[in-house]
Amino acid sequence: MANQLHIYYGNPTAGSTDGTEASSGTELSPISVTLDASKEEQKAVKCAVRCDNGYYIEGSTAIKFVGDGSAKWRAAADNNYADEDAALKKASWQETLALDGVTDKNTIFWVKATSSKEEKPQNDNSVDIQAEGLVVAV
């Protein structure tokens, strides 16, 4: 379906069209992390957002998290971070991220999940990552 925004993971490349598309309502290809709550861990995943071919976002694209566990997730703009460790240490993590210049080529961003010692071990699939913006034709 045309005129959509898509989120990708799997080490996407800025300005390219690579990456694995995250599922859209099907949960068949989710962005997932495994955390050890006893260690109060955090992990980051490199992601990308892009439109269908021949489209772009007018204005900003909002990246946000919805669902019961959304307080444990944050997003950050990419600043050419070399890897996950660099992103975790240097990024400015936010509840909602605004990205400018989203086109039909990858715009990189990072997502971070955290755990706390108060959590019980669980498979939490209550959080969705949403990308919102005004899609227009080139």
Judged on CB neighbours under 10 Å (0-12, 13-18, 19+), 32 is middle
As averages over each run of 10 residues, the pLDDT of the chain (138 residues) reads 82 97 82 88 97 96 95 97 98 98 98 89 86 94
The per-residue pLDDT for 132 is 95
Query: What is the pLDDT, as a whole number, of residue 38?
Result: 83
Identify the three-state secondary structure at position 79: coil
Task: Classify 5-26+40-118+126-137 by CATH class.
Answer: mainly beta
User: 42-61: per-residue pLDDT in tens?
Assistant: 999 999 999 999 999 999 99
Domains of the chain by residue range: 5-26+40-118+126-137
- φ, ψ (nearest 5 deg) of residue 117: -65, -20
Going from the C-alpha of 65 to that of each of 19, 105, 108, the distances in angstroms are 20, 22, 17
The whole-model pTM stands at 0.93
Q: Tokens at residue 55, please? A: 């489209």
Predicted pLDDT of residue 116: 86
Quote the pLDDT of residue 1.
47
Q: Count other C-beta atoms under 10 Å from residue 9's C-beta.
A: 19
Supply the pLDDT for residue 28: 79
Greatest Cα-to-Cα distance within the chain, rounded to the nearest angstrom: 49
* End-to-end Cα spacing for the chain: 17
> 129 pairs with which residues across the strands?
65
Enter the tokens of residue 106: 């990858």
